[in-house]
C-alpha cells in the first residue's frame, strides 16, 4: 500500500509587500499589492502555507487575536473576486474564499505565526483581515508575510 505525504516545499515568496500591513486598523482588510498573483497553475500543489512575522515589540494583541487569510482565485476573465481595502464587513471577501487564521499570543511583543491549508490550482491573490484587537504597528519594514506550497508525495 502506498503512503501519501508532504513532498519538498517550494521556496518562500513574498505574499504581501511589508507596507501593506503598516498601521492596518483593527478589523481592517487589505488585498496584497504584490506585483503578480501567487501562481499554482503550473505546480498544481495541493497545500500552501503562509508565515507572518512582526519583529517590533510595540504591538499589543488582544484575547483571541489573529489575522484571517483569504485566497481570491483568478476568474475566467483574468480578474479576481470583488473586494476592497477597509474595515466594513462589506469590504471583505465572501466566506468561501477563507483560507485560515494566524493566531497570536495575547501580549505586547514581537509576533510570529503561520497557517496551512488547501490552495486553488490557479493564480490567486491573498487578502488579510486584522482581527487582533489593535492596529498593526506603524512600521513599513518590520512586518512580512511569505508563502510556499507543497507537493504531495506518494511512496
Q: Is residue 87 part of a domain?
A: yes
Q: Is residue 8 part of a domain?
A: no
Q: Is residue 135 part of a domain?
A: yes
Q: Is residue 75 part of a domain?
A: yes
Q: Is residue 1 part of a domain?
A: no
Residue with cell 504531495: 152
Q: In this predicted structure, what is the pLDDT of residue 33?
A: 92
Length of the chain, please? 155
Q: What is the DSSP letter of 12?
A: P
| Angle at CA of residue 73, ends 99 and 142, nearest 5° | 60
pLDDT in tens, 103-155: 988 777 778 899 999 999 999 999 999 999 988 888 767 889 999 999 888 87
How many distinct structural domains can be found in the chain?
A: 1
CB 21 within 8 A of CB 33: no
Q: What is the DSSP letter of 18?
A: G
What CATH number should be reported for the domain holding residue 142?
2.60.120
Amino acid at each position: 500500500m502506498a503512503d501519501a505525504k508532504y513532498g519538498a516545499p517550494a521556496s518562500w515568496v513574498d505574499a504581501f509587500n511589508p507596507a501593506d500591513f503598516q498601521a492596518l486598523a483593527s478589523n481592517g482588510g487589505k488585498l496584497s499589492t504584490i506585483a503578480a498573483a501567487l501562481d499554482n497553475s503550473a505546480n498544481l500543489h495541493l497545500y500552501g502555507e503562509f508565515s507572518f512575522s512582526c519583529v517590533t515589540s510595540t504591538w499589543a494583541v488582544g484575547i483571541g487575536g489573529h489575522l484571517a487569510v483569504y485566497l481570491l482565485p483568478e476568474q475566467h476573465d483574468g480578474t479576481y473576486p470583488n473586494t476592497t481595502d477597509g474595515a466594513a464587513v462589506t469590504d471583505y471577501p465572501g466566506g468561501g474564499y477563507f483560507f485560515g487564521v494566524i493566531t497570536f499570543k495575547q501580549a505586547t511583543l514581537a509576533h510570529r505565526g503561520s497557517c496551512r491549508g488547501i490552495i486553488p490550482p490557479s493564480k490567486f491573490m491573498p487578502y488579510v483581515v486584522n482581527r487582533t484587537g489593535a492596529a498593526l504597528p506603524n512600521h513599513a519594514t518590520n512586518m512580512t508575510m511569505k508563502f510556499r506550497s507543497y507537493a504531495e508525495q506518494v511512496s
